[in-house]
Chain A
Amino acid sequence: MQAFDIEVTLGRTRVLHGVDFTAKPGQVTAIVGPNGSGKTTLLRATTGEIPFTGRVLLNGEDVARQKPWQLAAIRGVQPQSTTIAFPFTVVEIVRLGLTAGLSAANTDLPVRALEKVDLTGFENRMYQDLSGGEQQRVQLARVLTQIWQPMVDGTPRWLILDEPVASLDIGHQFTVMDLTRDFATRGGGVVAVMHDLNLTAMFADRVVLMQDGRIAAQGTPSEVLTDATLTQTYGCPIPVNTTPPVGMPFLLPQARMTREPC
């Protein structure tokens, strides 16, 4: 996925100033940055949700020239939060992912997708009665149903996620990040807006750091997540790889050494 010279103006404010960025299949690309730096705006421009100037290519094809159903076959997008207008059950929401065509015949996918996001047994619960974190995982299950196979006929498919772990507990953060990691390992492309720099360092192959509507740095986590860059971008001293003073408890997701499921 490539984006060239993306500019977005919301109201009278220019929110993105000519952003170029590339995400490769087989990798997890994380977009990070302070609040208001344009992460979500960049994601929403590349998925065509808001008007922008510039060009976005997905698997080499201009996104603007493709029909919604063509895009839906190669790209799934998980929004930050979704309110549903009517009393749908969980499985009915996930089943909406089947309407995208390629997975349509595979009617057991919704149940398998719910299993993947650790929501087995939630099929007939009302979506509106779930907690925020559970709703977010239902939406992920829906997107997974839509693009179940990371590769189809040698062409990668894309998982686009807006803060996928924002309202999840640490156990389910791992569930979801492991899922995205697995999707990329099997050949698909993952682009995720992230807030948690630790999870980013742990799971991303490539990090795009944004500041004031521009890209401040991009590269591997060890290239981008440095004292100097982070301190400058976030406007606050952020020492990397430093243990806190003795006696203060701290929890790092990186300390989970195994790839055992939680």
Chain B
Amino acid sequence: MTTVYLDGIGIEAPGLRTWQQARLVLRGENPFYFEKKSHPVATLIPENERRRAGDTIHLAVHVAGEAVNNAKVNPESLINVFSSYRGALKIVDHMCNAVTLPDHPISPTQFHNSVYNSPAAYWCIATQTRGPSTSLACAEASFPGALLSATANVFTHKQGVLLVVYDVESPKPFHKQYAIEFNCGIALVLMPSQSENTLAKLDINFQSRKTEEMDMALSPPLVKLISGNASAQPLRMLSAVASQDSREMFYDYLENSVVEVKINPCN
């Protein structure tokens, strides 16, 4: 078991537009309406770069900004861990289309935005964050995998971590296989010690066994949201944080393994 402290949350998903609003929905105090429109503009990004940035970049940077604000921390002091199931599939679509055409007209901007770490890089440029920054892939387990990595960073470096998961709607050619129908980005600020801003204490562990039960005390529309986008997975954990419930849950991580999360709300 390794302990980290959750100090800030940022969220953008259909019907969940900020943590403040999502918190009340997850507590069951407000109803949940699935509103597909969730295309935030990351105003933190300088105007020149903002125009060039694609949907994954805007989404990830937007939620990261909210989490850091809520945690009242300086982003420069945080290590970045960004993670996504699909990355920028729309750019893949454009580029793979371009290479079928005569003279293969790939746009240089699209090419550099196609690198998997571009959302993290835009975040670093926007906030002048010069510390370590990692971009991870772990398919459907992109959240539990990144949570382990973030925890290992907090434990090893005794520093705060900005964990961001994001996935966007798939472009048309991918609709038949593994379609994602809506955007979702969630950011968490995880700290090595408790502060007055701490929302919950999280004990995290890797276990090599099968999940036994799914603990979904959530409304069916929220369950649908969580199962429709790998980056909505933190909502399971965040529902306990919102309700200030002490809970233990298991995230499926690859075959025959789970990431165990014990949540103890602090405020």
Q: Do A and B come from one complex?
A: no
Binding site for B on A (CB under 8 A): none
